[in-house]
Amino acid sequence: MSSVLGLGNALVDILAILENDQLLEKLDLPKGSMQLVDETAARKVQEATSHIKKDLASGGSAANTIHGLASLGVKTGFIGKIGKDELGQVFKKDMTEHNITPHLLESETQSGHANALISPDSERTFATFLGAAVELSQDDIIDELFANYKYFHVEGYLVQNKALIEKAYKMAKANGLTTSIDLASFNVVEDNLEFLTNLVHNYVDIVFANEEEAKAYTGKEGEEALHQLAEGTKWLFLNWVKKAQ
């Protein structure tokens, strides 16, 4: 049976469905992007959406992937760091209730959370306060975490901690795991292109990307981007949407 271990920012998603995209412009959030914000900016987003009913769920890119796999009956685990607060408990409880083994460290810092603003066309825009999630370090990654797993999945949003992500991949490969990465967002790729390129060529077996991320990674479009991104990887999975002519 397949078994997948995820590594990512342990965040609680605060989901708000927007009536239109005017609020994104007001908050200076590019539609479809993921913007890292400080606590003050995160509070501003929450105040601007205070009139909207919100739902809470454990989130973060890798955590969401692990949730999906667990719902299909796959054995899963997740590595992350949470705060000793209510949001941290929401994250841990949600993981446990969905049969995900939580490998969670705790911090005195507030738990990270992502204000997910959902446009009428279902496009999601994130204003993310990392909080305790960003305190996960390479010292937290030990061999025992990789026992009994066959696959190791990392979210591209984790690239703010390059030492952590590189050590985790090295340890996963040393333990015989097949590795994957989700390139996360076009702006994440643009800001970390050299690091991600080296990471993919040296440690990653499977790459997940959409059209905009592939374009940011390669500087090319269409099939040219596909072929260049596939170089050096065993598998490439693209979320490719054909645009109307």
Expressed in angstroms, the distance from the first to the final Cα of the chain is 44
DSSP letter, residue 109: S
- Nearest residue to 62 (alpha-carbon basis) of 102, 90, 30: 102
Q: What is the pLDDT of residues 141-192, one digit of tens each?
A: 999 999 999 999 999 989 989 999 999 999 999 999 999 999 988 889 999 9
Residue 174 CA neighbour count, 13 Å, CB half:
11
Predicted local distance difference test score (pLDDT) of residue 171: 97
Residue 238 CA neighbour count, 13 Å, CB half:
18
Question: What are the two backbone dihedrals, phi and then psi, of residue 86, each rounded to the nearest 5 degrees?
Answer: -65, -40
Predicted local distance difference test score (pLDDT) of residue 237: 62
Tokens of 10: 């342990």
Predicted local distance difference test score (pLDDT) of residue 234: 66
Res. 245: pLDDT tops 60:
no
Predicted local distance difference test score (pLDDT) of residue 229: 75
Q: For the whole model, what pTM was predicted? A: 0.83
CA 137 to chain centre: 16
Predicted local distance difference test score (pLDDT) of residue 242: 46
Res. 76: pLDDT tops 50:
yes
Q: What is the pLDDT of residues 46-73, one digit of tens each?
A: 999 999 999 998 888 899 999 999 999 9
The mean predicted confidence, pLDDT, of the chain is 90
Res. 241: pLDDT tops 60:
no
Evaluate whether 65 touches 28 at the Cβ level (below 8 Å).
no
232 band by pLDDT with thresholds 50, 70 and 90: low
Rounded-to-integer distance, Cα 72 and Cα 102, Å: 18
Neighbouring CB atoms inside 10 A of 236's CB total 16
244 band by pLDDT with thresholds 50, 70 and 90: very low
Q: What is the pLDDT of residues 104-143, one digit of tens each?
A: 999 999 999 999 999 999 999 999 999 999 999 999 999 9
